[in-house]
Structure 1
């Protein structure tokens, strides 16, 4: 699933391409990919101009004219692809096609059909339960806020990092990578981690996320940016997806465990269970 760095990369890449463009027409090819009535969805968007493209957690947000907002959750395999005039290449995974006023095209694709699009007025965004429950942005949290958010919780630290109501935008990849960099075992209860250690985790998390954004995200299955380009952060993974391989830091064989129902890779030496 695209996480904060991937969605941020998509938003930054699409913004200069579609900003101030008007949605001349759109086709909803898969009604299940939009929330609400597909015809009403299309009518609400047609004629709107795209004012900006941003992100909140793992949500891609298009701010439109007349106070409308188009939210897109990519889930497992969703993607937005931009095509200059006359270059659109549609696949069987195309779910919604936005025809822009300069003859360029923006296509929402989703192979596994878990992603969705939702249009609403900006005044109702905070009333949308999913949006309202999102926790703070990790790159905007201070160290003190991060420690206060996690320090008194009994849950496993990785479970809290994955909890979108606790902190928004972090998924399996960047939780594993940040915890390894901080030398913290994923199953450690947050309340048992010294505050100075949580502060160090905050710095590690920010470092990992920032470097991943600069690398254009991580591509190892379906993710590409708005122009179809893969990211490169996967080339520097320390632990994620590397179970059974030697730790890049100490050469110990990396172990695979489960935390909060998610496959997790950990170094038994660099991240001791009771360390």
Structure 2
């Protein structure tokens, strides 16, 4: 699933390509892919709208349109949004096609059909439970707020990082990588982390996210940016997807467990497990 760096990369690429472009038509080829309305209602609401900006909130891709509308995409596991020329031949997994003035098209493709698109007014977007309940953005999160989030729960730290209601945008890749950088076992209890450990985790999280954005994200399976290119950060991953291989620091074999229903890779020597019965620094 595209995480914060991948969605941020897509948003920046689409912003360059779409800012100021006018929508002239819409094709909904798989009705279940859209939230609310049908092809005719989307056509009426989107026609002649100008794309003013393309941004991100958590893992959501958010297009700001003229007239106070917002076109939102959740890419889920295999969703892709990119701009194609008029000569492009629409394929079976292209579920939403937005026609632009000048002939180009914005295509939402999703092989597994887990993703979706929604069209909202500002009030509707603010009231949408998924959007409304998103936690703060990690790149702008302050140490005091982050410490408060961790101190409020006995849950395992990996589960806290993945909880979009606590912190928005983090997925399996960057949770594993930030925990490794901070030397924290994924099963550590969030509330057991000292101030210095919590601050180190936030620093590691911000660092790995910024580095991944600079590299255009991580292409593990399906991810491509707005131009159809692969990301490059996967070559820099220290633990994610490397179970059984040697740790880059101590050369011990990396281990794999499941936390919060997700595969978690870590180094048993470099990452300490902190519990509330034994606080460490």
| 2:130 alignment partner in structure 1 | 130
TM-score by length of 2: 0.95
Alpha-carbon separation, structure 2, partners of 1:157 and 1:89: 45
Give structure 2 stretches of 5+ with no counterpart.
275-279
| 1:144 alignment partner in structure 2 | 144
**Conserved 8 A contact 2:26-2:42:** no
| 1:116 alignment partner in structure 2 | 116
Q: Does 1:49 align with 2:50?
A: yes
Once the 2 structures are TM-superposed, how far is the Cα of residue 195 of structure 1 from its aligned partner? Answer: 1.2
Q: Count residues in correspondence.
A: 274
Alpha-carbon separation, structure 1, partners of 2:49 and 2:23: 6
Alpha-carbon separation, structure 2, partners of 1:89 and 1:254: 44
Cα pair distance change 1:81/1:100, threshold 3 Å = same
**Conserved 8 A contact 1:28-1:42:** no
| 2:189 alignment partner in structure 1 | 189
| 1:58 alignment partner in structure 2 | 59
Once the 2 structures are TM-superposed, how far is the Cα of residue 87 of structure 1 from its aligned partner? Answer: 3.9
Determine helix, strand or coil for the equivalent of 2:187: coil
Pairwise CA RMSD: 1.1
Q: Does 1:101 align with 2:101?
A: yes
**Conserved 8 A contact 1:94-1:108:** yes
Alpha-carbon separation, structure 2, partners of 1:89 and 1:183: 49
Determine helix, strand or coil for the equivalent of 2:119: strand
Once the 2 structures are TM-superposed, how far is the Cα of residue 101 of structure 1 from its aligned partner? Answer: 0.4
Give structure 1 stretches of 5+ with no counterpart.
none
Determine helix, strand or coil for the equivalent of 1:264: strand
| 1:230 alignment partner in structure 2 | 230
Q: Deviations over 1:4-59 (max 9, x none)?
A: 00000000001011111111111111101001122222321122110100000000
Q: Deviations over 1:202-260 (max 9, x none)?
A: 00000000000000000010000011000010001100011011111111101010101
**Conserved 8 A contact 1:255-1:265:** yes
